Amino acid sequence: MKKNLNLTYGNEKISISVPKSFLAGDLIKPKKFSNNMTEDEMKEKMVNAIRNPIDSAGVKDMVGGKKVGLVISDEFRFGLQELIVSVMMDEIFKGNPESFNIFIANGTHDPEVYCGNLIAFVKKTAKDFNKEVRVIVNECDSNKYIDLGKTPLGTDARVSKEWLKTEVRIYGHESKYHYMNGYSVVDKQVCPGLCSRDTIVSTHKHALKHNLSAAGRILYHEDNLRKENPFAQDNRDVRKLSESFILRDGKLMEENIPVFLLDMFSTKSTIEWIAAGNPDKVSVKMTKAVDGLASFNLSRTKYVVISPGGPPACNALYGVQNCFDMALKYAIQEGGEALILAPCIGSPGQPEEVRGLATSENSKALFWDNLVRLREKTLREATDWIDKNFELYLWKTDRVLKLMLQQKVKLYLYSELPAEKIKPGGFIPVTDPNKWIFERAKRGDGKLNVIDEGNKLLVIPAD
């Protein structure tokens, strides 16, 4: 007897056929409780959350006569950014602010690649409101930052000057699990979102502590055993520090800035959970909500088939890696074999040598080229080199190496990439997923876990 399962493959679905006796259990994917919503229904749900905030004044009452900033995630993050802009713009303009700027939290990401569509949408929406809105993207290598001092972990908190000029700061965010920060949370919209490169590098080096800087761990969590996460702590401390300062007439002054968060857990057609108000209190509620929707206790199996989900998670191995940390490493036994289903078609305008491997020439050089070079070394040699020569993107190399060399997991890939492009990085090309599955089923030496949307869920080992 066989069971057919549909998994996400880019913007499409791919069907796999698995002998029932080979399956360890049901298909693992984030739970869905809501029916599909229209755009108007989703907007209504957002407005209802904004107008019923947790431990906070309402947006309209906060912004009157003030210089207001709204920060949203860039296009590297899946989400309903355009709906957030539309709804928030309407609420904010009803409060009659003095000025209104929208910030795109692109961190080190190239604005031309990950901000263009959002910039165009904001300008069009502002024109529809007949209002003036300035769009500001992060330029991490510029001098457009103010040093606010050091965090308790020693990071120099250098935050966007323009963000620090705002008198009311509003966050429009969407949460899920994050492979280093525990959860994608409001803190990340400031750090790394609106910070200088040196600040971002400093916080990201904590990712090398991969057992602590990991999915499902954050200080907002009610479980004391899941609170410690140095990467998440440093990001939070930068955000909290930034909310204690304002730049007025070129002078940095200490001041408690009014803040407001709209947070949610969404799909393309539903909002499964939503809340607004005090960022810290909303974030505590968020961890419970995300755990309820996307946390799974699994027994490890020798074999795993996993899809990271749709774009942008599946566009390059750089992004696909997220699901290794969140789902794969605790779903698979040491010495196991994993088949990854991800087209890896890249993004428009990318150089051919980068396409499908990383997001830019720089991230390809650091993440992929170092993976190719270091995977032939011992794990100790490789991780020592990364620690001594740390730069952004090397944390991904570190984690793939630990999966390959420490857990001894073989990584097979079904994608649109040519075999000669992925083999140097240790990935084994597969042309027929069903053949791969049946060959392993015949061995009779283990079971199979099947995971869809692995970039949005957390696997907690049952053993």
What's the rounded Cα separation, in Å, for the pair 379 and 395? 14
Q: What is the predicted pLDDT for the residue at 112?
A: 87
The angle that helices 379-388 and 394-401 make with each other, rounded to 10 degrees, is: 170
Is pLDDT above 80 for 177? yes
Average pLDDT for 133-146: 96
Q: Which fold has domain 2-24+299-461?
A: 2-enoyl-CoA Hydratase; Chain A, domain 1 (3.90.226)
DSSP class of 23: B
Percent of the chain with pLDDT over 90: 92
Average pLDDT for 286-301: 95
Is pLDDT above 80 for 17? yes
- Name the helix (H) or strand (E) containing 84: helix 81-94
Q: DSSP letter string over 138-166?
A: --TTSS-EEEEEE-TTS-EEEEEHHHHH-
Q: What is the predicted pLDDT for the residue at 217?
A: 96
- Tracing tokens 């296009």 back to the chain, one arrives at 75
Q: What is the predicted pLDDT for the residue at 267?
A: 84
Helices (H), 300-423: 317-323, 361-363, 369-374, 379-388, 394-401, 419-422
Give the HSE-up count for residue 160: Cα atoms under 13 Å, Cβ half-sphere. Answer: 28
Q: What is the predicted pLDDT for the residue at 334?
A: 97
Task: Band the pLDDT of 32: cuts 50, 70, 90.
Answer: confident
- Chain segment 104-115, per-residue pLDDT in tens: 999 999 898 889
What's the rounded Cα separation, in Å, for the pair 430 and 303? 15
Burial class (CB in 10 A: 0-12, 13-18, 19+), 38: exposed
What's the rounded Cα separation, in Å, for the pair 412 and 429? 6
Average pLDDT for 426-433: 98
For the chain, helix, strand, coil in percent to 5 are: 40, 25, 35
What's the rounded Cα separation, in Å, for the pair 316 and 356? 4
Q: What is the predicted pLDDT for the residue at 224?
A: 96
Residue of 393, 308, 394, 311 whose CA lies nearest to 348: 311
Q: What is the predicted pLDDT for the residue at 407?
A: 97
Q: What is the predicted pLDDT for the residue at 1?
A: 87
Q: Which fold has domain 39-291?
A: Rossmann fold (3.40.50)
Is pLDDT above 80 for 180? yes
Q: What is the predicted pLDDT for the residue at 348?
A: 83
- Tracing tokens 């809105």 back to the chain, one arrives at 133
DSSP class of 368: I
What's the rounded Cα separation, in Å, for the pair 41 and 47? 10
Is pLDDT above 80 for 78? no
Length of the chain: 463
Residues 6 or more apart whose CB falls under 8 angstroms from that of 211 comprise none
What's the rounded Cα separation, in Å, for the pair 116 and 114? 6
Average pLDDT for 165-182: 96
Q: What is the predicted pLDDT for the residue at 347?
A: 85
3-state secondary structure of 185: coil
Average pLDDT for 122-146: 95
What's the rounded Cα separation, in Å, for the pair 284 and 77? 21
Torsion, Cα of 83, 86, 88, 91 (10° steps):
-140
DSSP class of 36: P
Chain centroid, CA 54 distance in Å = 25
Structure tokens given for 75: 């296009």
Q: What is the predicted pLDDT for the residue at 34?
A: 83
The model's pTM:
0.90
Residue of 53, 123, 49 whose CA lies nearest to 86: 123
Domain ranges in the chain are 2-24+299-461, 39-291
Furthest C-alpha separation in the chain: 73
Q: What is the predicted pLDDT for the residue at 33?
A: 81
Amino acid identity of 49? A
Residue of 239, 157, 172, 162 whose CA lies nearest to 202: 157
- Chain segment 295-308, per-residue pLDDT in tens: 999 999 999 999 99
Q: What is the predicted pLDDT for the residue at 113?
A: 83
Average pLDDT for 115-122: 94
Q: What is the predicted pLDDT for the residue at 461?
A: 86
Residue of 406, 407, 269, 405 whose CA lies nearest to 336: 407
Residue 348, preceding peptide bond in cis (omega within 30° of 0): no
